[in-house]
Amino acid sequence: MSEIRKNLITGEYVILAPERAKRPSDFECPVKHEAPPERVDNCPFCPGNEDKTPPHNYICPDAGAWTCRCIPNKFSALSSEGDMWRNEEGLKVVMAGVGRHEVVIETPYHNRCLAVLPDEAMKCYMSTCLHRFNAFYADPRVEHVILFKNHGAAAGTSLEHPHSQIVGLPMTPAQVRYRAQDACDYFDDKGSCLVCRTIEEEASDGRRVIMETDNFLAFIPYAALSPFHTWIFPKRHMPCFTAITGTELDELAVVLKTVLWKVYKGLCNPDYNYVIRSGAPSDCNADHLHWYVAIVPRVTKAAGFELGTGMYINPSIPEASAEFLRDVK
Ligand SMILES: [Zn+2]
Ligand SMILES: [Zn+2]
């Protein structure tokens, strides 16, 4: 019998359809792509081609050969110059498309994705992300910052060299506001943070847990919208990613890399997106907001049903997917 589960954090419903259900091993890709070389002459992100990109805004380490490099996006979605303005004329609402858009080049190696980076390089990547989060929020025009990665064509990437993107918007997107409002309503009603409650419940249940460390819990949500959709929650209540401590950041680097390795190894390097969903530093005292990381392997496609309903059909069972990833070493 099918089951409709509700995700209280996102407010979304999902149909778990056992008739369509696949075993975790059915998602393994049958075609092995040829691995790209370590360096590609005409790749703008490969070492030696730094003059083919705008000058970096941040580099790690700050001396010697770079491990991680952050540059303005040549094809920025937002204008980096100009002031914020907003106009309303009848039903037409328009505002200045100003903000920040940068690319984080994750590694000098053209063929090394995050899943296979050494821990030290991964820590360098995470500290670069944190530095840019802080730098973006220091821009008075920026109201909301989002960090994301598109890995593979099905996840929307256009350049093969491993990179993430960070965008600083001059407004807060509707979906972010709705979820924050739901979290606030939950807090009003129950007197606790919904994410903190979820951590307690998932950790003690254990069936959907992929891995747990002192400061983080990685698990597949009870109402995961798609196969292997994974969340990494910091255990300490923190509305904004910028509140993370050095110890927590190093631990997150290892947890993120380990989960990505499990997805890479277990599912044969699928396309995926990952995103850091966080409140702003100005939310730092909010009792109801709690930042987290979401990883979404693109092993199924959203289609008309999803477009027409905002609901998803997941042909996998979260408990079975978590057990599968838990066992990938
Ligand atoms: Zn490259
Ligand atoms: Zn919390």
Q: What is the pLDDT of residue 10?
A: 95
Total domain count for the chain?
A: 1
Domain contains 140? yes
Give the confidence band of 58 by pLDDT, cuts at 50, 70, 90. very high
Rounded to 5, what percent of the chain is helix, strand, coil?
Answer: 30, 25, 45
Report pLDDT for 30: 54
Determine whether 163 is an active site residue.
yes
Specify if 284 maps to a domain. Answer: yes
Q: Is residue 84 part of a domain?
A: no
Q: Is 154 a member of any domain?
A: yes
CA of 82 to the centre of ligand 2 (A): 36
How many residues are present in the chain? Answer: 329
- The verdict on residue 88 lying in a domain is no
The bound ligand whose nearest atom lies closest to the alpha carbon of 36 is 1
Give the ligand at the shortest distance from the Cα of 47: 1
H helices present in 7-94, as ranges = none
* Alpha-carbon span 295 to 114, nearest angstrom: 13
* Entry pTM: 0.95
- Closest by alpha carbon to 274, among 165, 145, 176? 165
Q: How far apart are CA 219 and CA 199, in angstroms?
A: 9
> For 125-269, where are the E strands, in sequence order?
144-151, 163-169, 209-212, 216-219, 230-234
Q: How far apart are CA 151 and CA 161, in angstroms?
A: 10
**How high is the mean pLDDT of the chain?**
94
Rounded distance, CA 272 to CA 255, Å? Answer: 17
Q: How remote is the CA of residue 298 from the centroid of ligand 1, in Å?
A: 23
pLDDT at 29 over 70: no
pLDDT at 300 over 90: no
- Residue pair 165/104 in contact (Cβ under 8 Å)? The answer is yes
Q: Is the pLDDT of residue 94 over 60?
A: yes
CA distance 105 to 82: 26
Looking up residue 299, the CATH number of its domain turns out to be: 3.30.428.10
Contact 276/290 with Cβ under 8 angstroms?
A: no
pLDDT band at 139 (very low <50, low <70, confident <90, very high): very high
Would you give the DSSP letter of residue 282?
G
Is residue 188 assigned to a domain? yes
Q: What is the mean pLDDT of residues 157-170?
A: 93
- Domain of 323? 3-79+94-327
Is residue 85 in some structural domain? Answer: no
Question: Ligand 1: distance of its center to the CA of 48 in Å?
Answer: 10
**How does residue 33 score in pLDDT terms, banded at 50, 70 and 90?**
low
CB 215 within 8 A of CB 249: no
- Cα–Cα distance between 235 and 272 in angstroms, integer? 24
Task: Evaluate if residue 26 carries a pLDDT over 80.
Answer: no
8 Å CB contact between 312 and 224? no
Beta-carbon-side half-sphere exposure of residue 23 (alpha carbons within 13 Å): 2
Ligand 2 centroid–CA 101 distance in Å is 28
Q: Which residues surround ligand 1, an ion (CB under 5 A)?
A: 40, 43, 45-46, 110, 161
Residue 158's pLDDT is 78
**86 within some domain:** no
Catalytic residue among 110, 161, 163, 288: 163
The predicted pLDDT at position 28 comes to 61
Instruction: Name the residue among 254, 264, 289 with its Cα closest to residue 120.
Output: 254
User: Is 80 exceeded by the pLDDT of residue 24?
Assistant: no
Specify the pLDDT at position 303: 83
What band does 18 get if pLDDT is binned at 50, 70 and 90? confident
- The answer to whether 142 and 274 have CB atoms below 8 angstroms apart is no
Q: How far is the CA of 287 from the centre of ligand 2 (A)?
A: 7
d(CA 298, CA 13): 19
pLDDT tens for 206-263 read 999 999 999 999 999 999 999 999 999 999 999 999 999 999 999 999 999 999 999 9
Cβ atoms 256, 114 nearer than 8 A: yes
